[in-house]
Amino acid sequence: MNIYVGNLSYEVTEDDLKQMFEEYGSIVKAIIIKDRETGRSKGFGFVEMNEQEGGKKAIQELDGTSVKDRNIKVNEARPRKERPGRKSW
């Protein structure tokens, strides 16, 4: 199950994200999305979990909780939309 985590403080690390979700089941990966140019967090990330049941419980219990003074948004990630390619002239 892939989970979206938004409204993250820029101080939250991938390890922090992993620790938040570990009590709900095994984590495949946890990533913070970063700006390509600056390397700074964009304030959201994704957690991939093995078990659907644990993922749903994590969403239910973590959505709206305060992490580093920010109320995070946690929900099931939507499939990524394909971006149209840029035309080369």
**Residues of the domain holding 25:** 2-33+46-73
**Tally of domains in the chain:** 1
Residue 85 lies in a domain: no
Residue 54 lies in a domain: yes
> Phi-psi bin for 69: left (phi > 0), alpha (psi -120 to 50), beta?
left
pLDDT in tens, 34-59: 999 999 999 999 999 999 999 999 99
Residue 84 lies in a domain: no
The two beta strands, 41-49 and 70-71, are: unpaired
Q: Which residue has the tokens 């938004």?
A: 6
Supply the mean pLDDT for the chain: 92
Task: Give the CATH number for residue 60.
Answer: 3.30.70.330
Q: Cβ(12)–Cβ(1) under 8 Å?
A: no
pLDDT in tens, 61-72: 999 999 999 999
Global pTM reads 0.87
More confident residue, 89 or 2: 2
Residue 79 lies in a domain: no
Q: What is the DSSP string of 20-43?
A: HHHTTS-EEEEEEEE-TTT--EEE
Residue 19 lies in a domain: yes
